[in-house]
Amino acid sequence: MRESSRLSRRAVLGLTAAALPLPAAALPLSAATPAHAASGVTAIGGERLARAGLQAEGATGVPTKLLTARAWLVADGTTGEVLASFNAHQRLAPASTLKMLFADTVLKKFDRTEKYTVKDSDISDVPAGSSLVGIKAGITYTVEQLWQGVFLRSGNDAVHVLAHMNGGIAKTVAEMQARARDLQALDTHVVSPDGFDHPGQLSSAYDLTLFARHGLKDPDFRGYCGTRTANFPAGGKKTFQIQNTDRLLTGAWGLKTYDGLIGVKNGYTSHAGNTFTGAATRDGRTLLVTVMHPATGSNAVYEQTAALLDWGFTHGRTARPVGTLVEPLSEGGATASPAPGHAGGQTAGGTGAPAKGFSAGRLVEGAAGTAVLLAAAGGFLLRRRRQSRAARDAAGTGRPPAPRSAEPDLQEPPAPTDQPGGRHRR
């Protein structure tokens, strides 16, 4: 996979702008290690969700032997009750699951029948290595088609077009951050609207589940995330078919479709790994599951999501809630205050040894915080290059990855047959 060798001037300015206006509580992590949790864990949703490790009560059968994710959460989509969780508030790189927040923020601003002719400037700032739906300057698209590009193909080009229609990337990022605060998703720090890897771009299993639950209340959001295929403009009267990258929805790469699946959104980058929030309905009950950063295996995020959904529809019926998905402040939700981090986790039985995975760290405010962020960014990119070389050596190739295909999708998980260090295929 091609790695960026340096931060562009645009990226440096963007990261600086992102760092300055936010209080220290909003930037609790070192940007160089965004996959590690922080001190100052919030009690949003309940005190138990602020603890590290497994949180479950009154139910057996949690598939812990299968689960390798660094964080996960199971919740009732109707009541908002959290049935079980693991490191619910651990801040991790979200990848394209952050597009759910983008949709929560921008979706209702444009009528789906509205037409827009794309300009070069609308897609000139799409990061290299992005997942793309194939938008071309000079072609006119409907808003509905642009959202299909966002949800089905996780197209960063579609995100950037809609963001420019919304007034630009910076304005959209600011609105997304404000929306996250309204949803009480306080683990989330937005750097870009597309979920692409940027130092300091973070969310949590709890926050991603909030985004999904709120989004699914909107018929358009629900319709887009559940669409399997669509015809996309190619210029003139020509179209090409695009497919949803959610493998539990489509049954791709050897997976079976999950019975009753609604959506919602998957994500992958080389740094974040795999993330996924899925929702399914059975016998009138809707469950939400978020899985973040499972161990290596491109199908693992889907297999572990399916296992947690299965548990929720069976054993989860007897579970006593360990927390709740809070309501947006704008819809009458009560404000929850940050609480000190807890040193240890708790097992399903209510006792247990401290869980590993949480480390202390906090960015300071003002110029010092900006300096830390920018210095960390350089280290982050250096580590990415070293990790890429190490992966190629481990695969026994010692060669650069193969040339990218005509329609690269480096944010899409590699196929199950891919070897470490190989290019990421659809």
Nearest to 53 by CA among 11, 89, 96: 89
3-state secondary structure the chain: CCCCCCCCHHHHHHHHHHHCCCCHHHCCCCCCCCCCECCCCECCCCHHHHCCCEEECCCCCCCCCCCCCCEEEEEECCCCEEEEEECCCCCECCHHHHHHHHHHHHHHHCCCCCEEECCHHHHCCCCCCCECCCCCCCCEEEHHHHHHHHHCCCCHHHHHHHHHHCCCHHHHHHHHHHHHHHCCCCCCECCCCCCCCCCCCEECHHHHHHHHHHHCCCHHHHHHHCCCEEEEEEECCEEEEEECCCHHHHCCCCCCCCCCEEEEEEEEECCCEEEEEEEEEECCEEEEEEEECCCCCCCHHHHHHHHHHHHHHCHHHHCCCCEECCCCHHHCCCCCCECCCCCCCCCCCCCCCCCCCECCCCCCCHHHHHHHHHHHHHHHHHHHHHHHHHHHHHCCCCCCCCCCCCCCECCCCCCCCCCCCCCCCC
Active site residue 96: yes
φ and ψ of 126, to 5 deg? -70, 125
Active site residue 405: no
Are 404 and 422 in contact, with CB atoms under 8 Å apart?
no
Looking up tokens 């059975």 gives: 282
273's tokens: 């790994």
230's tokens: 């669509």
Say which of 30, 85, 99, 204 is annotated catalytic.
Answer: 99
Compute the half-sphere exposure of residue 172: CA atoms within 13 Å on the CB side of its CA. 26
Say which of 154, 192, 203, 270 is annotated catalytic.
Answer: 154
Say which of 30, 85, 96, 130 is annotated catalytic.
Answer: 96
Active site residue 238: no
Kindly list the catalytic residues. 96, 99, 154
